[in-house]
Structure 1
Amino acid sequence: MQFTRRHTLKFAGISCAATALAGALKAEGGTPAANAAPTLPFAVTTPMHIGQAALRVRDLDPMIDYYRSVLGMNEVGRTARGVTLGVGSVPLLDLVHKPAADFESPTSAGLFHIAYLMPSRKDLARWLVHAALRQVPLSGFADHNVSEAVYLNDPEGNGIEVYSDRPKDAWVWSGRVVKMGTEPLDVDNLVALTDTKTDHYEVAPAGMRIGHIHLRVGEIAAARGFYEQAVGLQPTQDARSDASFLSSGGYHHHLAVNSWNSRGAKERNAMETGLDWFSITVRNPDDLEAQKTRLRAAGYVLVEMENDMVEAIDPWGTRLRLVPG
Structure 2
Amino acid sequence: MNYTISSAFGTEAADQPIKEMTIQRRELLPNDVEIEILYCGICHSDLHAVKNDWGGSTYPLVPGHEIVGKITQVGSEVSKFKVGDIGAIGCIVDSCGKCSHCHDGDEQYCETGWTVVFNSPDKISGGMTYGGFSEKIVANADYVLKMSETVDLAATAPILCAGITVYSPLKHWKVGPGKKVGIIGIGGLGHMAIKIAKAIGAEVVVFTTSPSKLEDAKNLGADSAVLSTDKAAMKAQRDFDMILDTVSAKHDVNVYLNALKVDGSLVLVGLPNEPLEIGAFNVVNGRKSFSGSNIGGIAETQEVIDFCAEHNITADIELIKPSEINEAFERLEKGDVKYRFVIDIKNN
TM-score bracket, shorter-length normalisation: under 0.3
* Bigger Rg, structure 1 or 2: 2
**Larger relative CO (CA 8 A, sep 6+): 1 or 2?**
1
Higher strand share: 1
TM-score by length of 1: 0.28
